[in-house]
Amino acid sequence: MQIEALTKRLRQFADDRDWDQFHAPKNLSMALIVEAAELAEHFQWMSEQQSSELSAEKLKEVSYELADVFIYCLRLADKLGVDLPKAVDEKIVINEKKYPADKVRGSSKKYTEYE
């Protein structure tokens, strides 16, 4: 329900601005990656530790970048006609089989190799 309601609101947002014409999946995939990069930019010179201890102000900024990525995910799923919760559900099952817990435990190397 939550995801569906947000999807509808974003569709309305695009329609109100007559922006649907720009929202070809190709273009949305670019916008998505651009937002993901704006998110990553906050972390690029931080250590992993620092990235886990953001100030309240920085966390607010980061949360809005993450929201933008999320928004483009929903918008792209909507334009493609993809049932995103269903796809996520299926993909988690695939990942569970691909990375069996007893074989990959604690190893990022396994993670990378299997990917």
3-state secondary structure of 36: helix
Tokens describing residue 112: 């990378």
Cα separation of 69 and 99, whole Å? Answer: 26
- To a copy of itself, the closest distance from the beta carbon of 65 in angstroms equals 9
- To a copy of itself, the closest distance from the beta carbon of 56 in angstroms equals 11
- To a copy of itself, the closest distance from the beta carbon of 90 in angstroms equals 7
- To a copy of itself, the closest distance from the beta carbon of 96 in angstroms equals 7
Q: What is the DSSP string of 57-82?
A: HHHHHHHHHHHHHHHHHHHHHHHHT-
Cα separation of 10 and 111, whole Å? Answer: 35
